[in-house]
Amino acid sequence: MEEWSAASPAKARDGNQTLARGLRVLLAVADSKDGLSIQQVAELLGVHRSIAYRLLQTLVDFGLAARRSDGVYIPGARLATLADAYLPGLRDVADPVMRALADRLHTTVSLFVEQGDSAVAIAMVEPTTATHHLAFRLGMRTPLTRGAAGYAILAAGPQIPGEPDAVTLARERGYARSHSEIEVGQYAVAAWIPMRDNPPACLNLITHRDDIADAAGPAMRRAADKVGRLLDQQA
């Protein structure tokens, strides 16, 4: 599955090179599995080690990164606060619905929102009823034009010329499906959440089992509609 890559960021629109570099480093550290060294950050940015060090230390000062005893920089605790600040109402409402759905279907269920031309995972629930299930990292991105999550988000809107056939089909049946479009052998089923005041969003499940994918569509549709109703009640 695709994710936000710090190696190929959007160019800074205001010419603020230091800010752009700092954000690139922040994203790179957050996306890294084992953390990044000063040398790795210097190579990523194409700058001297001293510049990489100052950028990393600034992130440490603000709690956005932490330095391990071996000199490797890892995500800082402050990032958890930032994550909780993004669409808290939607995530709070969706969480219990996702948990019930994950346990019922014995598979991972996630919440995706539209961001530019991508669908981005902002919440994930793993089932407590299954020992083997697929999972992925929050912040992972998929194109809107490939994969069930993107199809479902596009299906929430009006038909547009040239949209993928899978989007048209999703709009007709109430949920989207894909197979091996993001990861080989992986099935995904997604249903958009009907709502007005948040970015377009959907519930998405991933599984390697075709029987789960075949049966999940109606349950995904009901769960997404429930999240939409709960949001309306809070409005």
Assigned token pair, 31: 């996306």
Residues 86-234, CATH architecture: 2-Layer Sandwich (3.30)
List the end-to-end C-alpha distance of the chain, in Å, as a whole number.
34
Burial class (CB within 10 angstroms; exposed 0-12, middle 13-18, buried 19+) of 151: buried
Pairing of strands 187-192, 141-143: unpaired
At residue 3 the predicted structure's pLDDT band, cuts being 50, 70 and 90, is very low
Question: Distance between CA 167 and CA 144 in Å, rounded?
Answer: 10
Provide the pLDDT for residue 33: 79
Domain ranges of the chain: 17-78, 86-234
For position 37, what pLDDT does the model report? 94
Rg (CA), the chain: 19
Sheet with 141-143: strands ordered across: 141-143, 118-125, 108-115, 201-207, 187-192, 176-179
Predicted TM-score (pTM) of this structure: 0.72
Of 8 and 161, the structure prediction assigns the larger pLDDT to: 161
Residue 174 in 3-state DSSP? coil
What's the whole-number mean pLDDT along residues 75-83?
Answer: 76
Tokens of 194: 């009907």
Whether the pLDDT of residue 29 is over 60: the answer is yes
At 100-127, the pLDDT tens digits run: 999 999 999 999 999 889 998 888 999 9
**Residue with token string 């160019």:** 11
Domain 17-78 class in CATH: mainly alpha
The answer to whether 135 and 108 have CB atoms below 8 angstroms apart is yes
How far is Cα 153 from Cα 135, in angstroms, rounded to an integer?
A: 21
One fold for 17-78 and 86-234:
no
**pLDDT higher than 60, residue 133:** no
Distance separating alpha carbons of residues 231 and 216, to the nearest angstrom: 23
Tens-digit pLDDT profile for residues 171-214: 999 999 999 998 899 999 999 999 887 789 999 999 999 999 99
3-state SS assignment for residue 108: strand
pLDDT at 136: 61
Phi, psi (5° rounding) for residue 123?
-155, 150
What is the dihedral angle through the alpha carbons of 92, 194, 126, 175, rounded to the nearest 10 degrees? 180
Taking a C-beta distance cutoff of 8 angstroms, is the pair 179, 101 a contact?
Answer: no
- Give the type of residue at 81: T
